Structure 1
Amino acid sequence: MLCLCAALAVLASPLADARRSDRAKAMEVTAGMQQGTLDDSTPTVLSGGVTIDQGTLHTEAARAEISTRGGEITRVVLTGSPARLRQELDDGTPMNAVANRIDYNVSNETVVFTGNVDIKQPRGSLAGERVVYNMSTGQVTSGGEGNGRVRMRILPKTGAGTAEPAKNDDADSPAEGG
């Protein structure tokens, strides 16, 4: 997974980084079935209840497809109904994300969450149909161009409230929180 979840931790503006030390930890993978070669010629496909743990990172998916180049992981695609991802951030706060598909492109350091995306952490939440996070720049893009509305909730630093997404469908409503 190579810190797949460095992807998203919804905060006030920029997303927080996942625990960077997780990248140096051993990756533990379990699945009902594995198919493919253990070289770069074809992706390795895991199915039948896939779990991947690496440090504080924990993922669960129905299927995982892992591509490599030169023996290094270049892309991981998790699918499920939904695929789940949980990780502790560098500041110690938890982050949880669910989506029908989580596509982590290691080469360009982007993570694309699609289908019923719901990302939560103590300071807020982000939900929608598509969220793209560029890990190297911190840029987050969500919704737009036929990808549905984005729902965000940003809580004040005092911690009052919950991290549930706003339930208001009124397009002209101001953002909640402060």
Structure 2
Amino acid sequence: MNVPLSLVLLLALVPATALARTSDRNKPMDIDAGRSDYSMDDSRPTTLSGGVVITQGTLEIRANQAVIYSANGDPVRVVLTGNPVTLRQELDDGRQMDAVANKVDYDLKTEIVVFTGAVNIRQPTGSIAGERVVYNMKTGQVQGGGQDAGRVKIRILPKNAQGGG
């Protein structure tokens, strides 16, 4: 399994993919980790650890560990853990999107990203926070909950307070 090739799919972890800097997908991906452990087949996952930093264009992901599961040589699931995992990317309009969570679990087959543990996703249009946020990249559906007695917190900014547009 080619580790950098499989990690190209980590780009899809970013919420609001339709708004993310589309040119980033055509840029080289750089991965920096203290350690890597992988097999040449699908018998066990590839594990990167020791301060994982993944950059591609304006996208930056930081995690303590990244685990990539494969089937038939193709990545099917990526699990990032950290204290916290951080994702930052510039949107096509130049504004910034930031996300933090203790765990980010991306199923490449269903295109569903599950953020868990102290989740806070901030975009120019507002934010969502909770203990669990599920983002369906196919449908754009976002579900959240679990913070402060099981509640989700959403803030929608008025257009005149969003800045940059």
Cα distance in 2 between the residues matched to 1:68 and 1:22: 24
Cα distance in 2 between the residues matched to 1:128 and 1:69: 32
The TM-score with structure 1 as length reference comes to 0.77
Gaps of 5+ in 1: 10-14, 162-178
Residue in structure 2 matching 1:68, options 59, 67, 70: 70
Higher relative contact order, structure no. (Cα contacts within 8 Å, ≥ 6 residues apart): 1
Q: 1:84 to 1:18 in 2, by over 3 A?
A: same
8 Å Cα contact 1:80/1:100 also seen in 2: yes
8 Å Cα contact 2:19/2:91 also seen in 1: yes
Q: 1:73 to 1:90 in 2, by over 3 A?
A: farther
Matches for 1:10-21 after TM superposition, within 5 Å: 17-21=19-23
Gaps of 5+ in 2: 1-6
Matches for 1:1-178 after TM superposition, within 5 Å: 1=7, 2=9, 3-6=11-14, 8-9=15-16, 17-143=19-145, 148-159=150-161
Q: Quick check: which one's strand share is greater?
A: 2
Q: Deviations over 1:108-153 (max 9, x none)?
A: 1111000000111222111100000000100111116xx8211111
- Stretches of 4+ moved more than 3 A in 1? none
1:42 Cα offset (Å): 1.5
CA RMSD of aligned residues (A): 2.3
Cα distance in 2 between the residues matched to 1:78 and 1:18: 20
1:38 Cα offset (Å): 3.8
The TM-score with structure 2 as length reference comes to 0.82
Q: 1:137 to 1:34 in 2, by over 3 A?
A: same
8 Å Cα contact 2:125/2:162 also seen in 1: no
Q: Quick check: which one's helix share is greater?
A: 2
1:56 Cα offset (Å): 1.9
Q: 1:74 to 1:25 in 2, by over 3 A?
A: farther
Cα distance in 1 between the residues matched to 2:74 and 2:58: 21
8 Å Cα contact 2:54/2:60 also seen in 1: yes
Cα distance in 2 between the residues matched to 1:65 and 1:29: 13
8 Å Cα contact 2:124/2:162 also seen in 1: no
- Letter paired with 1:19: R
1:160 Cα offset (Å): 6.3
1:62 Cα offset (Å): 0.7
